[in-house]
């Protein structure tokens, strides 16, 4: 019984951490699009990959890559990404500048 309660607690914590990371990735994607005067499509990011990785202090964290789509002209759908290491944004990427012009 204690094992089941511990397992449920761990699953609940993992779900909460995943939702918090996703919300932070959404915020980072919206901010990146806003700075470049782009329109984020669908209003959300989608998990593309999750992998264990060590941070700069050597602690094991889950690295998540989220993908999102945006447009610069209302017609083209371009893809961007947000990489999260734990709850921290590691990188945000947009299509190369030559594709935007």
pLDDT tens string 21-41: 999 999 999 999 999 999 999
Note the pTM of the prediction, 2 decimals.
0.84
Which contiguous run of DSSP H or E holds residue 45?
strand 39-54
In this prediction, residue 97 has a pLDDT band, given cuts at 50, 70 and 90, of: low
Per-residue DSSP letters for 23-84?
Answer: HHHHHHHHHHHHHTT-EEEEEEEEEEEEEEEE-TTS-EEEEEEEEEEEESSSS--EEEEEEE
């Amino acid at each position: 019984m204690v094992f089941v309660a511990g397992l449920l607690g761990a699953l609940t914590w993992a779900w909460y951490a995943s939702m918090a990371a996703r919300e932070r990735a959404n915020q980072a994607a919206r901010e990146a699009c806003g700075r470049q005067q782009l329109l984020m499509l669908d209003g959300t990011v989608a998990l593309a990959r999750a992998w264990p990785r060590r941070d700069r202090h050597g602690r094991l964290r889950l690295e998540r890559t989220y993908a999102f789509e945006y447009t610069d002209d209302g017609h083209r759908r371009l893809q961007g990404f947000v990489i999260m290491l734990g709850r921290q944004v590691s990188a945000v990427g947009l299509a190369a500048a030559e594709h935007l012009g």
